[in-house]
Every structure is written in structure tokens, then in C-alpha cells.
Amino acid sequence: MGLFTTRKTVFVESDILIIGGGFGGCGAAYESRYWGRDLKVVVVEKANIERSGAVAQGLYAINCYMGMQWDENQPEDHVRYARNDLMGLVREDLGYDIARHVDSSVHMFEEWGLPIMKDEETGRYKREGKWQIMIHGESYKPIIAEAARKAATKVYNWVMVTHLLMDKTRPNRVAGAVGFSVRDGKFYVFRSKAVIVTAGGASHIFKPHSVGEGMGRTWYAPWSSASAYALPIQVGAKMTQMENRIVLTRFKDGYGPVGAYFLHLKTYTENAYGDNYEATWYDSIKEMVGDYVDKQPVPTCLRNHAFLQEIKAGRGPIRMVTKEAFADPDKETVGWENFLGMTIGQAVVWASQNIDPKETNPELIMSEPYVMGSHATCSGAWASGPEDYAPSDYQWGYNRMMTVDGLFGAGDAIGGTAHKFSSGSFTEGRLAGKAAVRYVNDLGNDQPRVDETEYEDLKTIIYQPLENYKVGRNEIVAGTVSPSYLLPIQGLQRLEKIMDEYVGGTGTNYLTNEPMLTRGLELLSMLKEDLPHLGADSLHQLMRAWELQHRTLASECVTQHTLFREETRWPGYYYRADHPKLDDIDWHCFTLSRYNPESGEWAMEKAPVHHIID
Amino acid sequence: MPTFVYMTRCDGCGECVDICPSDIMHIDPVSRRAYNIEPNMCWECYSCVKACPQNAIDCRGYADFAPLGHSVRVRREEEKGTISWKIKFRDGREKNFVSPIRTTPWGSIKSPSDYEAPSPDALKTQELAHEPEALHVEALPALPPRKD
């Protein structure tokens, strides 16, 4: 410890602490301030909220908009859509809640200056698909960040939160968080009455297709380091549906999005021999999942499954037929601007390989798995539902409060609510923000207190990788191989290899079974034992070390959930080879886990799925 | 395409360092100019390219799948409210696109505190800020309470 006794500690007091300044966090900041005029609302972000989170490079569509003003969709319709896509298992109470509020968020975005495309004839927002509206969203994040900066008492950029702090006066109640500045290395102790976790989901827990320079071109942002999960898991919050990882069918290598291509440009897929293959797999899919194959639109995972089967049958590569659509110059412009607005790397791949979709039908690929809660998947914390209609066993306090008192979440952090995307995550942040204001008001004088020993102990642990490196570096001449420490990238590659080979990554065609998962857990526990020996040569690498800690804990949770659910609920996302069919009798339920922070053990249970929408 | 920085254009101002979401644009202590310290953690989001006042940052497609000879250049102009792209293929073909980025002046968003404070009773309702007006429908939809 001697080296770090002089490291300065910064204490920050707040009423509401928001961890992560992406869409969920910005929504939480706005709403907290609207309802809590005199409260101290603090946002802490490991990067700069101007360009942080999953929407850093922009978006070309808002994928969750009802259009209630034009009677285009009602909230119930969105619940049915998300339920069908997730093979029956979503938190309908939470999903309805987002859907009934999301239009007001989008209308605020437009008022703030987000260019939303309009249909010239009707004056309505231009639809890409039933739920999607088209935007010029290069500055989507800077616009939303401006609103959050106006709302927050203070935004701490470049501070990574590593752990939550618990109240010393009452068990199971949050009291704040700790972290460090990635710029000057100062130690931060945030003391807060309520905490809203709006950090990111998880890329880089499964080995990506590209392991050279291109490993950064993951579908989800490389800075999405599973903090949304690790922070609540560490303090014993219950998690749900963590096995429900997502695999994306995207344009090859750049992972350029296909939504606008399918929905707006009306392009379609074919195998290497020009055949439409999806229908040929209908009977075999029906055999696995029964009537779910007949849902419209066909669930995302089942379309993945057909794609994978066609590749395994030797009829790849699968291509997107773009030549017809791109003959129309307007559609060609949409096709390119769609990438430039949100996945610039795909434009680079095509430019580098001379792929002009007017002349060449581009290849598609299925990605490595990701764990997140806002796209066609719903991993995250088990949260209390809206007070006015949530079933009683889904309701134990304030809306979006986890199973830890005072700990709220939104976006990737909250489980069971698929298809919220950017607008829904922002809306969920708003819901959490308002609920947190109520929680803080109701606390009165019964305020949480942090324990000095707790944060001082964490301070030692947090900076340990710098000390490990400083000491161990003198043992060796030069280079990256040390007998005493692991570099963060080395630990990350071990994690990705374990998850890939044992938990259903691309290396096994997304397949796993009980013996593989059991072995995976053994290897993960050895990785966890090694993590205190990470070595960091800089504050940047110290951030990478803590990102790896968060990813590893989340990965263990994913593996436990995958082991617990003895069925193949989402073929095309992953396969339990020892339970190859969907099993609605035993597994039409949510999986819940709780990590015991003292013992390090996991407890698993089932929770019922209440269908509150017909 | 991981980013790289042209030595003759960079003046070491640090705008890229302050914006990179991956914290991988750093100032080289010897040359006092910026560079990408971790290309394999670059998402090619172009945040640094757009932020660079000297237009000193460019991208070269990932070496493991992008052949050389291409470029995707960008100019983001906040005062004009536009973003302009020039795509150059390996074989020399070019495509150009311009899009709007914002319809209102930068800095013009009102703080939620600038709106009239809601009543204490409103805090107990399900309505969020500016609702129901901002929904553009008469009332916030709701489901009947559960009887269980």
C-alpha cells in the first residue's frame, strides 16, 4: 500500500448518483432534475458523455417509436412484438411501461434539434419499419448529452466506477460508489442516497471473429464492458435472463446494420447459389420450437438459425441482394448514409474491397455473441415494475429499483425488456430518475452512511494492478511475458477463449452442454483467481483491468444461467446440445441468479412469466 | 479502421484525447502529438476524426480484412449543421454524401429546471416530464391494476 498512501481521495456527495452517461444515464439525469429541483444529481462516466456509450458514433434510426398520435401502434402492440421475438419471455409490465412513454422522449429529441425525417405527403415521421423511424443521427448523442449536462448538478467525465458502496446502517441498501480518474488517477468516493446504474452491456466476453487489429470492430462498442451487470452483481442484486445472449446477422467484417436494408430498401437474402433458403428450414425449426416458428415477424433467433444451418450445409456465403434496390439513386443514398450515420467501418470495408452494392451483392455473417439488454435480447437486473399495474410479485418498491434498496437501473442494466433501443433506454432512464426522486424524498432523515473501512479497502484493491506492474516489471528484461502479472489484454483473450469454446461462441457454432459449461466454470474460477495479479503500466491499462474484472464477473453469471436453463429456448443465439428443444412445460419462466458477495456462490431460481397483455 | 495521425498536421491540442470513448488517443511524450495507443480497441467511430481542428486524423481499414488504397473522409461543421463524407474505393471510384446534424442552435436546449416545477402530487403519478402534452395524445395509456 505504501506507494499509494499519497493518492488523493475526492469525496462527492449527491442525492442521486447516475453511473454511465449513455442514453439511459442522460434520460435519468433529465428526469431526476425535472422532479427533484433541489436535489444534487451527479453523473459519472468513464469517457466523455459528449461521445460515450453505444450511440457514440450516431444512429440512422430510432427503433422504438409507437406513433400513438397517428394511431400507428399502441403500447400493447409493442409488448406482443417483443414477446414474440424473444420466444415468449419478456417482462410485459416493464415493456408496456417503456412503450407508453417512449413517444414523449422522441418528441423531446425533435424539439431539442434532432433531425427526424418526414414523409412529405403525410407530414408524419418517415417509417423504416413498423417500429423504426429514420433520423439524421450523427449528432444524436451530442444533442442528448447537452440536455443531460443542463440537467445534472455536475458531470464527472473520465472517472471509471469499479464498485458500489453499501450502507453500514442497514443491510441490502446502497450508499454510493467508488472509482478512479483515468486522467489524474485520483480516487473517487461518491456518497449518494440513490444510485442509478446505466452503464453499458457487454462486448468482448466472447471471442470476436477478428482477433487482429479488427477485434475493435465488434458489433457492440468495445467500451461496453459489462459494468451494467458487474456493479449490481457485486452487491448481490438479482439478475435475470443472463443466458439470453444475442447473435447478430450483419454485413461481413464491418457489422453494418441490416434493418434499413430489409425493412426500407426491401433487400433480401439468398445463398451462394441464388436460392431463398429460409423457408426450406421451416419443418426442422418447427420440430425444435413448435408454434413459435409461425409468429410474425419470424423471431430474430430463428432467422439466425436458418442462416447458420444453410452455412453448415455448405451453401454459403449468404448474401444480401442489393443490386435491385440500389438501382434507385434515393435508395442508394439511404443505403450508404445508413452506415455513415452509425457504422462507418462498414463503408470502409466496402470501399477497401471495391464492394459497390449496386454491382455486388454483399456478404452477411453471424456475429459472436453479446450480452446486453436493449436490442433483440433482454439480459439484466431483476427490477420492480410500475406501481399502477405490475403484478404483485414483480413489485417490491419503486419502479426500476433492483432487489437492493436504493439501487435503480435503466437501459442495458435492466432485464426482461427487449427492443427498447436508444429511445427506450432513455425513457427507462427517465422512469428510473423519477422513481429515484420519490425514493430520496421518502428517505427523510433515514440516510445511508458509507463505511470508511469499506472504501479504504477498495482503494487498495483498485490500484493493485499498478503496483503489481511496478514490482513485477523489474523481474524481467523487457516484453509482455511476466511470471508474476497478467496484462489486461492477456486476461481478456483468455476470457474470450473460455467463453467461445465452452459457453457457446462461434468456435462451436454457438453450441454448449452441461459438461462444457461445468468445465467453463472451472476455467473461469481460475481466471478470477488470477485477476488480482493483473498488471497495469498506466491509468489507461488500469481502466482495462477493471473492465476485465467486470466482464469476467458478468461472464460467470452468463455461464451459470446457461447451465441452469435446461432447454434450447433461442436457437440461433445458442444451443444446449443436451437439451436441444424448446421446453415450455418446465422453462416458460425467467431465470434469476443471485451472487453471494461473501461466499462467491451463485443461487439460481425460476420466476414466473406473467402475460398481462393478451 | 483504426485511426492514425499525420505528423505534419497534428499540433498536440488534445481534442481527440478528450473525446475518444475508448480512451485510446494519447499524446506521445516525445513528439508531443497524438496517436492511437491501442488500434485493436478502436471502434472506428470517427469521434476523434470529427473533433480534430487540424484534420490531422484519418483511418486506415483494419489490416486483417481491409485491403489498402481506400479512404473515408469526413468534415463535421457545427455552425452549418452538416456532416460531409467522401468515400474513395480502392479502385478509385468516389461517392459523396452530405447530411444535416442538428436543426436548432448548439446550446439551445433548456434545462428541466427552466420549466415550471411540477406539483408534489404529480410526483406520485405515472406521468413523466411534459406528459401528457409531449405524448401528443390526450392521456398516458394505462393497464387495469392487477387483482392478484
Residue-level pLDDT at A76: 98
| pLDDT higher than 60, residue B44 | yes
Residues 6 or more apart whose CB falls under 8 angstroms from that of B79 comprise: none
* Active centre residues of B (catalytic): 43
Residues A469 and A597 both lie in one domain? yes
Residues A479 and A596 both lie in one domain? yes
* Domains of chain B (ranges, CATH numbers): 3-100 (3.30.70.20)
| pLDDT higher than 50, residue A312 | yes
| pLDDT higher than 60, residue A138 | yes
Residues A489 and A601 both lie in one domain? yes
A540 in a domain, yes or no? yes
Per-chain mean pLDDT for chain A: 97
Which H or E run includes A112?
A: helix A92-112
Contacting residues of A for B116, CB less than 8 Å apart:
none
Residues 6 or more apart whose CB falls under 8 angstroms from that of B42 comprise: A216, A222, B1, B2, B3, B22, B24, B36
CATH assignment at residue A528: 1.20.58.100
Of B71, B74, B126, B131, which to mutate for an interface test with A (greatest number of A Cβ within 10 Å)?
A: B126
Q: Verify whether the Cβ–Cβ distance B103 to A114 is below 8 Å.
A: yes
Task: Find, among A62, A141, A148, the residue nearest to A422 by Cα.
Answer: A62
Give B3→chain A minimum CA distance, Å: 11
Q: What is the pTM of this model?
A: 0.98
pLDDT band at residue B1 using 50, 70 and 90 as cut-offs: low
Mean pLDDT over A184-199 rounds to 98
pLDDT band at residue B145 using 50, 70 and 90 as cut-offs: confident
Q: Verify whether the Cβ–Cβ distance B97 to A151 is below 8 Å.
A: no
A21 in a domain, yes or no? no
Portion 16-35 of B in contact with A at CB < 8 A: 18-24, 26
> Nearest residue of B to residue A181 by CA position?
B23
A334 in a domain, yes or no? yes
| pLDDT higher than 60, residue A220 | yes
Q: Tell me which residue range forms the domain holding A504.
A: 463-605
Residues A362 and A473 both lie in one domain? no
pLDDT band at residue A524 using 50, 70 and 90 as cut-offs: very high
Q: Verify whether the Cβ–Cβ distance B109 to A30 is below 8 Å.
A: no
Mean pLDDT over A168-182 rounds to 97
Task: DSSP for A358-392, please give it.
Answer: TTS--BEEE---BB-SSSS---EE-----TTT--G
A522 in a domain, yes or no? yes
Domain count, chain A: 2
pLDDT band at residue A6 using 50, 70 and 90 as cut-offs: confident
Of A341, A366, A391, the residue at which a domain comes to its end is: A366
Portion 67-126 of B in contact with A at CB < 8 A: 67-72, 74, 76, 83, 85, 87-91, 93, 95, 97, 99-113, 115, 117-118, 123-124, 126
Mean pLDDT over A561-571 rounds to 98
Q: Is B53 on the interface with A (CB under 8 A)?
A: no
A260 in a domain, yes or no? yes
pLDDT digits (tens, 9 = 90+) for B27-39: 999 999 999 999 9
Per-chain mean pLDDT for chain B: 96
Residues A360 and A469 both lie in one domain? no
Mean pLDDT over A203-229 rounds to 97
Mean pLDDT over A460-484 rounds to 97
A281 in a domain, yes or no? yes
| pLDDT higher than 50, residue A320 | yes
CATH assignment at residue A346: 3.90.700.10
Give A581→chain B minimum CA distance, Å: 32
Q: Before A232, cis peptide (omega within 30)?
A: no
| pLDDT higher than 80, residue B15 | yes
Q: Before A317, cis peptide (omega within 30)?
A: yes
Mean pLDDT over A347-354 rounds to 96
Of A312, A332, A366, the residue at which a domain comes to its end is: A366
Residues 6 or more apart whose CB falls under 8 angstroms from that of A114 comprise: A135, A137, A139, A140, A143, B102, B103
Residues A488 and A594 both lie in one domain? yes
Q: Verify whether the Cβ–Cβ distance A212 to B41 is below 8 Å.
A: no
Mean pLDDT over B90-97 rounds to 97
Higher pLDDT, A263 or A63: A63
The percentage of residues in chain A with a pLDDT greater than 90, rounded to a whole number, is 98
Interface predicted TM-score of the whole assembly (ipTM), two decimals = 0.98
| pLDDT higher than 60, residue A378 | yes
pLDDT digits (tens, 9 = 90+) for B112-128: 999 999 999 999 999 99
Mean pLDDT over A417-441 rounds to 98
Mean pLDDT over A268-289 rounds to 96
Across-strand partners of A164?
A177
Q: What is the distance between the terminal CA atoms of chain A, rounded to a whole angstrom?
A: 60
Number of helices (H) and strands (E), helices first, in chain B? 2, 7
Alpha helices in A294-328 (DSSP H): 300-312
Of the CA atoms within 13 Å of residue A113, those in its CB half-sphere come to: 24
Residue A394: count of CB within 10 angstroms of its CB: 22
Of A325, A349, A366, the residue at which a domain comes to its end is: A366
A17 in a domain, yes or no? no
A533 in a domain, yes or no? yes
Range list of β-strands (E), chain B: 3-5, 25-27, 34-36, 57-59, 71-77, 82-88, 94-100
Residue-level pLDDT at A1: 46
Give A427→chain B minimum CA distance, Å: 9
Residue-level pLDDT at B147: 66
Residue-level pLDDT at B148: 60
